[in-house]
Structure 1
């Protein structure tokens, strides 16, 4: 018994010696370290994920902060009374009140012909000058040239007119900026006779186009038009004036205003309710057009910047924008383009801006409205005085000078971005000199009279168009390649093919764009029949090659290892490609009269641009294929082999297994690949920048160019003024692009999760 007990105790001691102790200090330290690493990794990935979300949110907030000021209205910042002791209580009625560029001097012209310059801030009188009006004559009418020209004409009671121009010179005596006003008489100080009979000119008009000055006036319903051509000798410097009188039909009603088209094409004679439009080239009446509604009369007329548009205010507080357009028959007619409302009181003054297509309007109750014509936007309606006032708007449209009685008042205006509205950004806009409303992007021009065209619609359309044609090429090729590589291809061949295709993703897009713009675009233009025959014959050639291979004897087919059959397509693809492109010139001669491009344009009416959507589809499709292929191939290859083998064991064919098991199981990954490829195509910049011609047009034609949102930002951001409307519009384009990709990715993730839940049971 003792021996047995001894043996049992020895066995237990040996067993204890053989057991592993998991609570040793070393193992405890390892467990603690592993737990610490797990916590650090968990916090690291959590913080990293939250940081990404925070960064995206901050990007949205930053873009929104830059964009938001564009949609704010105008405001009147401050009203300041200006001492005007030099202006007597019973001063002569003002004909003109203006402010110079620096907002330092104001000019006042009254009916007596006295011009006074005063400091805008202190009200101090700087200088006073009497215009050279002939003794005994008086001013009976007055008109200005187009906004920003600072040229005006005075009509006298003896049928003569005086052309005056005011200008301002900035000097720096003692390093202090000083503005010196100047009056000049570009056509002489002697009045020009407009009516040979010496009758009073009830209305006058003036317009200068290059070296030609056009003067017009009305006496007793009789219209007088005089054209002066100013020529200067290059040798002597002597200036000579050539006069030409135009004979126009006489008027039927008393005229309240005269306006001349800046290119001297049209003359507008405004009556109480109508506008008689005269064709100055044909010297005949174009037509009579009704300007007001029933019961209303025209009370104020002015031209917008550039002189093309007429702004007509009536006695019911309505302001209409009119300009000449061509109808379907090719005839020019005066059309009402837009209408604005200030209230229900008569409009007494319309003040156009000198830098933009905006204007201010004042009614008889002292209420002011701030408007923009192109954006069709009412930015402000606010009373500034009690009763009618006479006002002037500064060239920068940031200061309003108001005269009421013998008192002056200055009002600061904050209106930085009037050109932006929903309709101007996304709707059709009827621009000046266009025959109909259209979507146009043209942000800048060399002409100061330019009307910015800021429609984002053609840019968004171009973005989707480029992505569509790129995905049309890339999606089928990439998905089919991924299916074949992951499901049918031999592992050894897959290990070579997959990295090569993924390596294409590392190719810089600027290289692809350079290649597409300088080589691919002209090559496609010169080989159009070959390109299209290649797209048609390549699938046919591959199918015929596969059919021919299937009919080969087994002794030949079995020599090719399983999964290596695709290598046999390499010579087929090369031969079909070479054959298709070699037929290009012959097909052009046989079917298209030697030039397919001219045939498309002349016979089919399809415009052709060398750098077009077809080139973008080929180049950008090549860039998108690696993204889609890599993700889709990984998703298909990751389908458990047990599912494939089980399906085959149950009697399904390999094709049935692929379509009903493998693709359905991998569908979330395939869909993610397509969405990522779509996002890459939408956000692509360099390829579309270099291969499309950057023409912002809305045309689905595959042979026309385009401009995308991303390319537009890249092209125009360096030229934009920081903080300006153009600058903020480009940020809005970036925000639209980011929002689109965010929505698309969110939607893709929702669909992907549903697909995963639906096919998770396979």
Structure 2
């Protein structure tokens, strides 16, 4: 019977055409899925790698070294026209195509920079037998110059370059102008030669200072009056009585504000005179630049005229400027020192558009420095002997100088990003006009002599500050909410709460930033005591409510289905919130004299900004909560049920099971949720941009704003010059943000794997 039953059992055929087709199709699908998933993963890695290398590509030029190469060398311009005399002034125009050379005999030679051929010549209106004994430019790149003469007078003139385009070809025509007349200005009535002269010209006045061979100071102040109809300028002259200087004056400079006169003496002293009262100049400061060991060889003003550069015979250059102290008094401070070499410095040529300068010495070396970055960019041996009359083109792309063999030498310079250094980006820098060194980000200004401030520290600090306050608010709320939702809440209620919270993530951050900046920030300012009372009273009230609810009779508690009791907290929290904001004016009147903001500022010295870190923390925390909540809730809900059931069966309470079983098992997922939330907070742009004052300051004060790396990129990238220093530093900020996210995620993955290995045995 049994044998018959076995024989009658139908045999299953697994090799039917239909099953074979099914297995073949499934194999194809598996391979396609494996390949597509693999390609997707590889594509993500490739995309991230390409982003990394693109950012690196944009950033690397910032750290390329400066270089220069010789273009040509020729005889002094003008010799082909039998013009004799030594050079006293050398300059180039904007395009570095035309140059000007002036001799001590008053001959002016305009020449082609590339080959030295003469374009035109003329002579300054000087009496016969009179020579030029001093020469200086009114301002860097201004082209208005003063020539002190051997008869105690001075000539003011301007070299100008007219650009035309006949037949589409650029033609530059140089010329000499006398904006204040060709008549020489008398400085020394006794006719003693002027060995040093300076000129400063402003819209309302002009100041001329000269020093004769007997080290006597002469100064003339011209006030300007412009005719309303013709536009002609009339100068009203007044003589200023200058003090007697003790020592041989070797150089001098006058600030563009017509106030500070810098005098360098042969004894290595630098005197600063205050000319605010033109009729009573006062000695403000006297410093010993070389401690009596070396001679001062050159004195120059950086672009803008705030900083004075003093070079000495030891090859050292020091930067000084006037600093206002707490008592509103000015004094000369040494800011930084630059080491050129061992040879005596023969000249300093400030750049026309940047805080850089070029230095030459007696041994034929030329160095390029940047004051803000505080570094030597280049040091090149360009001649076998002394280098003199060095000048740099307005675009800082060419250098021209006279060597010891009385030849003119032209060098091309490649120095695109001199303002960048580790110190300028990440350390404190003493900027012009500031009382001390500080971290400052200020990339642009209205004036052309502005000193760019590219410190990334305030931006990095602001990024971490915004993320910290956002995580401080979001992390406990999101994790605690996820714990309750996944473990204690009724399944039907959970299926409604979880999607509702995840839906918050779909809300555009620009809307959150808009609401935070235009509604929540003013509301918080008006109800500041209510905000803090709400933060204090709400948690306590929730604990009190829970205690009362737990001690109510079972007949009452059982009317609410198990797991649905959190809904009772909604009206309770609403009532508590209404109460906190209703008593806000009363609390402000009782404890803060009716104005908590003024109390914080005046009594505690805490600055208050309406759009501050507290607003950002609340708004960005609201944006981050769904991310942390969703991942945390999934991690907790995914813990195997047999673990919690086993714990409860052994006598543990639900809370003990949560703390000692569920949380350790889900800790890798919770940690990942926090890290992903922090990454979201660090990279957030629109909320920070709209809900803060967007000020790049370093202050942990919760009532002050900040500027983050991402917000700074969004604000300034559209206005930056493509390929410029500002443009590439913004890419550097993006690169720093990229590296920060990469490092944090890598560490997070390492910690997550350690946690997974540790608790996988549970």
After TM superposition, the structure 1 stretch with the greater mean CA deviation from structure 2, 641-650 or 204-213, is 204-213
The answer (yes or no) to whether the contact 2:74–2:116 under 8 Å persists in 1 is yes
The answer (yes or no) to whether the contact 1:345–1:363 under 8 Å persists in 2 is yes
After TM superposition, the structure 1 stretch with the greater mean CA deviation from structure 2, 371-380 or 201-210, is 201-210
- Report the CA distance shift for 1:202/1:85 in structure 2 as closer, same or farther (over 3 A): closer
Q: Which residue does 1:355 correspond to in 2?
A: 353
SS of the equivalent of 1:467 reads helix
**Partners of 2:228 and 2:338 in 1: how far apart?**
50
- Report the CA distance shift for 1:756/1:12 in structure 2 as closer, same or farther (over 3 A): closer
Q: Which residue does 2:578 correspond to in 1?
A: 578
Q: Which residue does 1:634 correspond to in 2?
A: 634
The answer (yes or no) to whether the contact 2:425–2:457 under 8 Å persists in 1 is yes
The answer (yes or no) to whether the contact 1:118–1:127 under 8 Å persists in 2 is yes
**Partners of 1:670 and 1:79 in 2: how far apart?**
65
Q: Which residue does 1:187 correspond to in 2?
A: 180
Alignment partner of 2:131 out of 138, 141, 152:
138
- 1:83 CA drift (Å): 6.2
SS of the equivalent of 2:423 reads helix
SS of the equivalent of 1:155 reads strand
> Does 2:695 align with 1:686?
no
Trace 1:215-364 onto structure 2 (pairs within 5 A): 215-219=208-212, 220-272=214-266, 273-282=268-277, 283-327=281-325, 329-364=327-362
Q: Which residue does 1:740 correspond to in 2?
A: 740
After TM superposition, the structure 1 stretch with the greater mean CA deviation from structure 2, 82-91 or 363-372, is 82-91
**Partners of 1:57 and 1:463 in 2: how far apart?**
24
**Partners of 1:625 and 1:517 in 2: how far apart?**
19
The answer (yes or no) to whether the contact 2:365–2:387 under 8 Å persists in 1 is no
Trace 1:61-210 onto structure 2 (pairs within 5 A): 61-82=53-74, 86-87=78-79, 91-210=84-203
- 1:749 CA drift (Å): 0.5
- Report the CA distance shift for 1:618/1:547 in structure 2 as closer, same or farther (over 3 A): same
- 1:636 CA drift (Å): 0.7
- 1:232 CA drift (Å): 1.2
- Report the CA distance shift for 1:406/1:570 in structure 2 as closer, same or farther (over 3 A): same
**Partners of 2:339 and 2:377 in 1: how far apart?**
12
> Does 2:666 align with 1:666?
yes
Deviations 1:476-535 (CA, angstroms, capped at 9, x unpaired) = 100010001011111111111110000000000011111111111111111111111111
- 1:196 CA drift (Å): 3.1
SS of the equivalent of 1:168 reads strand
Q: Which residue does 2:704 correspond to in 1?
A: 704
**Partners of 1:85 and 1:474 in 2: how far apart?**
73
The answer (yes or no) to whether the contact 1:162–1:191 under 8 Å persists in 2 is yes
- Report the CA distance shift for 1:189/1:90 in structure 2 as closer, same or farther (over 3 A): closer
- 1:12 CA drift (Å): 5.9
Q: Which residue does 2:522 correspond to in 1?
A: 522
**Partners of 1:346 and 1:157 in 2: how far apart?**
27
**Partners of 1:99 and 1:279 in 2: how far apart?**
33
**Partners of 1:616 and 1:491 in 2: how far apart?**
34
The answer (yes or no) to whether the contact 2:697–2:707 under 8 Å persists in 1 is yes
> Does 2:34 align with 1:42?
yes
After TM superposition, the structure 1 stretch with the greater mean CA deviation from structure 2, 56-65 or 672-681, is 56-65
- Report the CA distance shift for 1:236/1:168 in structure 2 as closer, same or farther (over 3 A): closer
- 1:328 CA drift (Å): 5.2
**Partners of 1:672 and 1:42 in 2: how far apart?**
25
SS of the equivalent of 2:290 reads coil
After TM superposition, the structure 1 stretch with the greater mean CA deviation from structure 2, 159-168 or 741-750, is 159-168
**Partners of 1:689 and 1:396 in 2: how far apart?**
35
**Partners of 1:216 and 1:482 in 2: how far apart?**
77
**Partners of 1:415 and 1:262 in 2: how far apart?**
27
The answer (yes or no) to whether the contact 1:90–1:406 under 8 Å persists in 2 is no
> Does 2:207 align with 1:214?
yes
> Does 2:24 align with 1:32?
yes
Q: Which residue does 1:23 correspond to in 2?
A: 15
After TM superposition, the structure 1 stretch with the greater mean CA deviation from structure 2, 617-626 or 588-597, is 588-597
Give unmatched runs, 5+ long, in structure 2: none
The answer (yes or no) to whether the contact 1:80–1:410 under 8 Å persists in 2 is yes
- 1:743 CA drift (Å): 0.5
SS of the equivalent of 1:152 reads strand
- Report the CA distance shift for 1:86/1:248 in structure 2 as closer, same or farther (over 3 A): closer
**Partners of 2:407 and 2:210 in 1: how far apart?**
33
SS of the equivalent of 1:56 reads helix
**Partners of 1:331 and 1:468 in 2: how far apart?**
40
Deviations 1:563-588 (CA, angstroms, capped at 9, x unpaired) = 01100001111011111111122222
Trace 1:749-760 onto structure 2 (pairs within 5 A): 749-760=749-760
Q: Which residue does 1:554 correspond to in 2?
A: 554
SS of the equivalent of 1:204 reads strand
After TM superposition, the structure 1 stretch with the greater mean CA deviation from structure 2, 393-402 or 200-209, is 200-209
Q: Which residue does 2:381 correspond to in 1?
A: 383
- 1:332 CA drift (Å): 1.9
- Report the CA distance shift for 1:402/1:199 in structure 2 as closer, same or farther (over 3 A): closer
Give unmatched runs, 5+ long, in structure 1: none
**Partners of 1:553 and 1:33 in 2: how far apart?**
63
**Partners of 1:163 and 1:598 in 2: how far apart?**
57
- 1:247 CA drift (Å): 2.9
After TM superposition, the structure 1 stretch with the greater mean CA deviation from structure 2, 117-126 or 571-580, is 117-126
- 1:13 CA drift (Å): 5.1
Deviations 1:627-667 (CA, angstroms, capped at 9, x unpaired) = 00000001011111111111111111111111111111111
Superposition TM-score, scaled by structure 1 size: 0.96
After TM superposition, the structure 1 stretch with the greater mean CA deviation from structure 2, 455-464 or 150-159, is 150-159
- Report the CA distance shift for 1:90/1:315 in structure 2 as closer, same or farther (over 3 A): farther
**Partners of 1:163 and 1:154 in 2: how far apart?**
7
The answer (yes or no) to whether the contact 1:87–1:406 under 8 Å persists in 2 is no
SS of the equivalent of 1:244 reads strand
Trace 1:425-464 onto structure 2 (pairs within 5 A): 425-464=425-464
**Partners of 1:35 and 1:490 in 2: how far apart?**
42
The answer (yes or no) to whether the contact 1:248–1:285 under 8 Å persists in 2 is no
- 1:249 CA drift (Å): 2.4
SS of the equivalent of 2:249 reads coil
**Partners of 1:327 and 1:233 in 2: how far apart?**
41
After TM superposition, the structure 1 stretch with the greater mean CA deviation from structure 2, 572-581 or 219-228, is 219-228
- 1:93 CA drift (Å): 1.2
Deviations 1:275-319 (CA, angstroms, capped at 9, x unpaired) = 111011152101211112552211122111111111111111111
CA RMSD, 1 decimal: 1.7
**Partners of 1:138 and 1:411 in 2: how far apart?**
30
**Partners of 1:600 and 1:85 in 2: how far apart?**
70
**Partners of 1:238 and 1:640 in 2: how far apart?**
92
- 1:171 CA drift (Å): 0.7
